[in-house]
Amino acid sequence: MTTPATVRMSLDEVRALALRVLLAVGLAPDHAAAVAQTMVAGERDGCTSHGLYRLLVAARSVAMGIAVPDAVPLVEEPATALVRVDGRGGFAQLPFETGRTLLVHKAKRCGIAAMALTNVVHFAALWPEVEALAEEGLAVLAMTPSHAWVAPEGGTKPVFGTNPIAFGWPRPGKAPFVFDLATSAIARGDIELHRRAGKPVPDHWGYDADGNVTTDAAAVLEGAMRTFGGHKGSALSAMVELLGGPLIGDMTSLESLALDNGRKGSPIGGELIIAIDPQGFMGELMADRFAAAEAMFAAIEGQGARLPSSRRHAARARSLAEGVDIPQALLDDIQALLEQA
Amino acid sequence: MTTPATVRMSLDEVRALALRVLLAVGLAPDHAAAVAQTMVAGERDGCTSHGLYRLLVAARSVAMGIAVPDAVPLVEEPATALVRVDGRGGFAQLPFETGRTLLVHKAKRCGIAAMALTNVVHFAALWPEVEALAEEGLAVLAMTPSHAWVAPEGGTKPVFGTNPIAFGWPRPGKAPFVFDLATSAIARGDIELHRRAGKPVPDHWGYDADGNVTTDAAAVLEGAMRTFGGHKGSALSAMVELLGGPLIGDMTSLESLALDNGRKGSPIGGELIIAIDPQGFMGELMADRFAAAEAMFAAIEGQGARLPSSRRHAARARSLAEGVDIPQALLDDIQALLEQA
């Protein structure tokens, strides 16, 4: 008798499992609910690297003392159009949920508003956040530094994090247009997968610790990754560092990695979210201008090119109808976590 | 006797020449002063494609009725943190100058603010604007669509403009950190230069009108350019379309090109500028966090990599000390303009 490779689960079952594990490893209930929500979103949309797999990462962060499992986020209003949520060392999801309503309120009242999440542990994607805000009718831009893993173009020593930029645009009657892209050439997890599989990486992914081009995945992980798009991607990565770090009173990726002190934990630091109410500038042109945006999307899809969120949306429709297939090996690892807890 | 290839001019002489020509072709004095200022900045910083050469472009825009030479910008405040300047069909520079003080005021009062320039003719770079605002102590992000010349990744038909993203960061005691990057793989002007020189372009710059990869510059200009950075650059270009177009009640690049109706004029449309006051989130951490940003810049430059603005700053220092060398051929073209006017 062979063990089945995957187990079909409903999204409710995914959520229940995530909650059980997160509570068992010591997360406070409100943190557990917020973190579980992003894992359900990951599995639902086919982003399995941000799904239940992240339970192992979260458990390790709590066990190592990297994330404060019961941190109570502190909301402040440093200015009329600014919200700051001090995460006090906990995971980022609950601080986001805690400040979200105030951010929406300020964006709608002022036309534009920004929320800073500070002192939070990041181990999830940004797209669930920008999608949630776009679903409330806002145009949203979010960014966060991470650990100094990525060399600036023209250099070979790490300075930047993988520094994602995420964007959301509301589409009347449809799921929002959303993208979430690392400014590194490739996700760090992809290099890690190559290392585990003993496979060489393309020679434009990074450098070894001596600054030489290499196809050895382990050497890139110890050396430096590269940005996407040459000097342009490098410039954008610097912008993410500045806006998601010092601007909001938080750390650069260099500082975050120094604080980590070799523990190889999830990045600690900040995140900036800018939300704009289309009503502000569009006024009475709302319907007409949203139609112009739709015409642009149609011009992209009409020639067979994909919108960034289309793959996720297709996976979502499948998952809602049929559930998701979770690898048995992952479930075994999760079961082991529960038994240790 | 041979004609000298270039003529050495001081920046004051450059400004005086630009003003004389702009007034001669019919621009109102306030427009002429604002436009001349960006041409001086272009020559000063070694960006000659945005220097005096643009006099020919500006003159053509006025002669063809694309730009309204005496448009009076209209400033509105659609919300607490929003400024809109309706350029009423004139060049973008004066509307920017007209709204600038109010934008700075709102950013400092609210923590973050946005300015939309609408119904303006664009033929200049964004970096002078973000630099000016960063010099007032703000972190600044600006973007603008143009004409539909660029295909989305995965397609071959133009949808996007060259869609620049510009960013400025204030550096205490130094010129701001500034970049201004097209989300197209290459500037349209570079393809034009290849066409004039009869030189082939690299095969990743664009497609011909039938959607085939081509190295024929003229075919790319009639077909479609590509974005930088593959699907990531394409996603960012879509963001610029949405934020710099429909969000602010203005046109997409598809609409701007349709309006142009084959005249091959400068793009008409909008521009979004987001300004954030570092004092808002940093508070008492100002000095410390600006130092963290400087440490990041030092980590980049310390390994021999260049900051995006470094080449411009080096040219600036030279130009201020020694003046600039203007090609005689360009001065001849400008003289011809004056004689026609």
Using a 10 angstrom Cβ sphere, with 0-12 exposed, 13-18 middle and 19 or more buried, the burial of residue B5 is: exposed
Query: Of A141, A285, A304, which has the smallest distance from its Cβ to B249's Cβ?
Result: A285
Instruction: Flag the least confident range among A196-200, A260-264, A280-284, B281-285.
Output: A260-264
Best B186, B247, B282, B312 residue to mutate vs chain A (most A CBs within 10 Å): B247
- Put simply, the answer to whether B110 touches A242 (Cβ < 8 Å) is no
Please identify which residue in the block is written with the tokens 């001596």. A210
The DSSP code sequence of A139-173 is EEEEE----S-BPPTT--S--B---EEEEEEEETT
- Put simply, the answer to whether A299 touches B81 (Cβ < 8 Å) is no
A82-86 and A112-121 beta bridge pairing = parallel
Contact B57, B337 (CB under 8 A): no
CA distances from B171 to A219, B12, B138, B176, B292 (A): 35, 27, 10, 5, 11
Contact B17, B334 (CB under 8 A): yes
How many Å is the Cα radius of gyration of chain B? Answer: 20
User: Counting one residue from A and one from B, how many pairs have CB atoms under 8 Å apart?
Assistant: 240
Determine phi and psi for B125, rounding to 5 degrees: -80, 160
Query: Of A151, A179, A290, which has the smallest distance from its Cβ to B246's Cβ?
Result: A290
DSSP one-letter code for A72:
-
Query: Of A179, A242, A278, which has the smallest distance from its Cβ to B247's Cβ?
Result: A278
User: What domains are defined for chain B?
Assistant: 1-63+309-341 (1.10.1530.10), 71-185+226-308 (3.30.1370.60)
Share of chain B above pLDDT 90, in %: 91
What is the pLDDT, as a whole number, of residue A123? 81
Which residue in B has a C-alpha nearest to residue A183's C-alpha? Answer: B232
Single-letter code of the amino acid located at A11: L
What is the pLDDT, as a whole number, of residue B139? 98
CA A111, CA B249: separation in Å to the nearest integer?
A: 14
CA angle B136, A116, A133 (to 5 degrees): 115
- Put simply, the answer to whether B308 touches A231 (Cβ < 8 Å) is yes
CA A273, CA A115: separation in Å to the nearest integer?
A: 5
Task: Look over chain A and give the mean of its residue pLDDT values, rounded to a whole number.
Answer: 95
CA A252, CA A144: separation in Å to the nearest integer?
A: 10
Q: Which H or E element spans position B112?
A: strand B112-121
Closest C-alpha to B113, from A102, A281, A237, A77: A281
- Put simply, the answer to whether A282 touches B248 (Cβ < 8 Å) is yes
CA B180, CA A231: separation in Å to the nearest integer?
A: 11
Segment A115-142 mean pLDDT: 96
What is the pLDDT, as a whole number, of residue A92? 97
Which residue in B has a C-alpha nearest to residue A232's C-alpha? Answer: B181
- Put simply, the answer to whether B139 touches A247 (Cβ < 8 Å) is yes
Determine phi and psi for A299, rounding to 5 degrees: -70, -30
CA distances from A264 to A69, A148, A254, B171, B228 (A): 18, 12, 14, 32, 32
Q: Token pair of B62, please?
A: 């006025």
Q: Token pair of A181, please?
A: 């892209």
Our CA-based measurement puts residue A121 at a distance from the nearest CA of chain B, in whole angstroms, of 19
Question: Given pLDDT bands bounded at 50, 70 and 90, which one contains residue A189?
Answer: confident
Using a 10 angstrom Cβ sphere, with 0-12 exposed, 13-18 middle and 19 or more buried, the burial of residue A65 is: exposed
- Put simply, the answer to whether A300 touches B110 (Cβ < 8 Å) is no
CA B223, CA A302: separation in Å to the nearest integer?
A: 17
Single-letter code of the amino acid located at A164: P
CA A287, CA A290: separation in Å to the nearest integer?
A: 5
Contact B158, B151 (CB under 8 A): yes
- Put simply, the answer to whether A79 touches B111 (Cβ < 8 Å) is yes
- Kindly tell me if the per-residue pLDDT of A251 is higher than 80: yes
b (16+ CB within 10 A) / e for A148-166: bbbbbbebbbbbbbbbbbb
Three-class secondary structure of residue B213 per DSSP: strand
Task: Look over chain B and give the mean of its residue pLDDT values, rounded to a whole number.
Answer: 95
What is the pLDDT, as a whole number, of residue B311? 92
Q: Token pair of B7, please?
A: 């003529």
> Within a 10 A sphere around the Cβ of A36, how many other Cβ atoms?
25
Which residue in A has a C-alpha nearest to residue B256's C-alpha? Answer: A292
| Tens digit of each residue's pLDDT (9 = 90 or more) over A267-308 | 889 999 999 999 999 999 999 999 999 999 999 999 999 999
B112-121 and B82-86 beta bridge pairing = parallel
Strand partners, B207: B213, B224
What is the pLDDT, as a whole number, of residue B3? 60
Active site residues of B: 49-50, 190
| Tens digit of each residue's pLDDT (9 = 90 or more) over A52-88 | 999 999 999 999 999 999 999 999 999 999 999 999 9
Residues in CB range of B34: below 8 A, 6 or more apart: B91, B93, B94, B96, B97
CA distances from B137 to A116, A153, A179, A335 (A): 19, 27, 30, 53
Handedness of CA A198, A204, A205, A208 (dihedral sign): positive
CA A198, CA B72: separation in Å to the nearest integer?
A: 65
Chain B neighbors of A185, CB-CB under 8 A: none
Confidence check on the interface: ipTM exceeds 0.95, yes or no: yes
CA A178, CA A128: separation in Å to the nearest integer?
A: 9
Query: Of A152, A153, A229, which has the smallest distance from its Cβ to B228's Cβ?
Result: A229
What is the pLDDT, as a whole number, of residue A3? 60
CA distances from A179 to A143, A234, B238, B242 (A): 12, 19, 10, 13
Query: Of A183, A239, A249, which has the smallest distance from its Cβ to B281's Cβ?
Result: A249
- Put simply, the answer to whether A243 touches B276 (Cβ < 8 Å) is yes
Residues in CB range of A155: below 8 A, 6 or more apart: B300, B303, B304, B305
Low-confidence ranges of chain B (pLDDT < 70): 1-4
Handedness of CA B10, B16, B19, B25 (dihedral sign): negative
Which residue in A has a C-alpha nearest to residue B299's C-alpha? Answer: A159
Our CA-based measurement puts residue A179 at a distance from the nearest CA of chain B, in whole angstroms, of 7
Which residue in B has a C-alpha nearest to residue A228's C-alpha? Answer: B229
Q: Token pair of B1, please?
A: 């006797």
Max CA-CA distance within chain B? Answer: 66
